[in-house]
Chain A
Amino acid sequence: MQSYLEYLDQHGSRFLDGTLITIQQTIIAGLLAIAISLVVGLMKLSSHKVIRWPAIGYIEFFRGTSLLVQLYWIFFVLPLFGITFEKFTAGFIAVGLNLGAYGAELVRGSIQSVPRGQYEAALALNMSPYKRMKRIIFPQALLIMLPPWGNLLIELLKGTALVSLIAVADLMFEAKQINGSTFLSAESFGTALIIYYLMARLVISPAMRAFEKYWAKKMGRFANHA
C-alpha cells in the first residue's frame, strides 16, 4: 500500500495528463458521433433511395469492420491519398465515425418505435415534416433512445483507448509508458483501469441517468415508466 502511494505520487501527474487527453477525445468524438448518428439515422429513414442508401452503406461499413482497422486506415492510409490528419484528430475522427454508425441505428430504431398515431396526429394538425420531427416525434424518440445512448457513450470512452496505438498521449498511452519505465504492470494498468471505471460509473452513467430523468419529466411521464 505504502509503495503504491509512492507510485501514485511519482506518476500521478502523468496519469492526470493522460486522463485529460482521454476526456478531450471522449467529448469531441462524442459530439461527432451524436451529430453523425442524427444525420445518418434520419437519412436511413428517408423514402428516397438516393438518401437512404448512402446511410445504409455508411452504417454497414463502419459496423462491419473493426474500430482499430478504421483508425489505422485513417491514420496510415489516408495520408497516401493526400489527406493527412494529426494523430489527435485522426483519433477522434475514427472513434466518432465508428460510434456514430452505432448511434445512427439507435436514432433510427427509436424514431421508428414512436407510435404511428403520433405521426398521424401531427399530420392531421397540418404540421410541416420538419416541425413534426422536431416538436412531436424526436422528443419522444429521445426518451426511448437515451438509456442505450448511455451504454454507447461508455463504449465510446472505451474506444478512445485505441488512439494510444497511434501514439496519442491518452490515459492508456501514459499507462503503457509508465509500465515501460517502471515494470510495475499491476500498478500501471490497474490504475488506468480504475480511472476508466470511475469515469464511466461516476460521470457518464449518472449524467445520462440525470438527463433521462430530466427529459422524462419534461415529457410529463414518470421516469420509471420510460
Chain B
Amino acid sequence: MLEWKWAYSLEILPRLLSAAVNTLIAAGIGYLIALVVGLVFALLQRTGVRPVTFIVREIVEFIRSTPLVVQIFFVFYVGPQFGIRLSPWASGMIAIGLHYASYLSEVYRAGLDNVPKGQWEACKALNLNPVKTYFRIIIPQAIPPSLPAMGNYLISIFKDTPMLSVIGVAELVHTATTIGTETYRYVEPYTLVGLIFLAISLPAAFGLRRFEAWVARYFGMTK
C-alpha cells in the first residue's frame, strides 16, 4: 500500500507552482488570441458575402468538432514539413487560440444577434459608417450579455492547457510527468496538480458567478 510523502510533496511543490504560472500564462495568451480571432470570425460571418460567410462558418464548425489535442499535434508537426519551424509554445498558442476562437465566435454571434434591430436602424438613420456602427454602437451592446459565456470559456481554456504537455510545453501536467519520471513517484505530483487545478478553477468559477451578477446589475439586464 502506498503512503503519501509530505516531505517529498513540499520539495516538488515550488516546481509545480512555477509550472502553474506557465499554465496561467498559456491560458491567458491563448484566451487573448481567441478573443481577437473569435471576433474576426464572428464579423466575417456577418459580411453578407456568401463565399466568405460559408467558408468561415465551415472552418468554425470544423475546429469546434475536432479534438484540440489533434489540432495541437497538427500545428506543431505540419509546419516543419513545409519548412516552417514553430516552437512548442508558439504552436500550442496558435492551436488553443484558434480552437477557442471558434467557440468565442459563436458567443459573439449570439451577442450580436441579440442587439435589437432598432439600433441598426438608428445607425443607418444617423448615417454612421459600418466601422462606427459596429465599434461604437453594436459591439458595446453585444458584449455585456456575452460576458458570462466568455468567462466560462476562460475557465475552459485554463483546464485545456494540460493538452499542451503533449508537445513539450512545460505546464503543470508536463512538469508533473517530468518529476514522476525522475523520482518514480507519481502519486504526489499528479495529485498536487489536481489540487492546484481545483484551487484555481473553483474560486475562478465562484468569482465568475459574482461577476455575472454584477454585470447583470451594472448594465441593468434582468435575467
- Chain A residues with CB under 8 Å of chain B are 60-61, 63-70, 72-73, 76-77, 80-82, 154, 157-162, 164-165, 172, 175-176, 179, 183-186, 188-190, 192-193, 196-197, 200-201
Contacts and interface: CB of A to CB of B under 8 A. Distances in A.
Contacts of B77: 179, 185, 188-189
Which 10 residue pairs across A and B have the least CB separation, nearest first? A185-B77, A161-B67, A200-B65, A189-B74, A158-B67, A68-B162, A80-B2, A65-B197, A196-B66, A66-B159
A158 B66 contact: yes
A185 B201 contact: no
Interface string B144-176: 000000000000000111110110000011001
Nearest to B180: A76
Contacts of A196: 65-67, 70
A65 B65 contact: no
Contacts of B197: 64-66, 69
B90 interface: no
Interface of B: 1-2, 61-62, 64-71, 73-74, 77-78, 80-82, 159-163, 165-166, 172-173, 176-177, 180, 186-187, 190-191, 193-194, 197-198, 201-202, 205
Contacts of A72: 173, 176-177, 186, 190
Contact of A162 (B69, B176, B180, B205): B69
Nearest to B195: A65
Contacts of A162: 67, 69, 163
Contacts, number: 118
Task: Give the dominant DSSP class at B's interface.
Answer: helix
| A82, A172, A189, most chain B CB atoms within 10 A | A189
Contact of A165 (B78, B160, B166): B166
Contacts of B172: 69
8 contacts: A63-B201, A63-B205, A69-B190, A81-B1, A82-B1, A189-B74, A189-B78, A193-B66
A20 to B, nearest CB: 17
Contact of A65 (B62, B67, B187, B201): B201
B66 A69 contact: no
A184 B82 CA distance: 10
B74 A185 contact: yes
A80 B191 CA distance: 12
Given A65-B197, A76-B190, A80-B2, A201 B70 contact: no
A200 B2 contact: no
Nearest to B65: A200
Given A172-B67, A176-B73, A193-B74, A76 B163 contact: no
A60 B202 contact: yes
B73 A73 contact: no
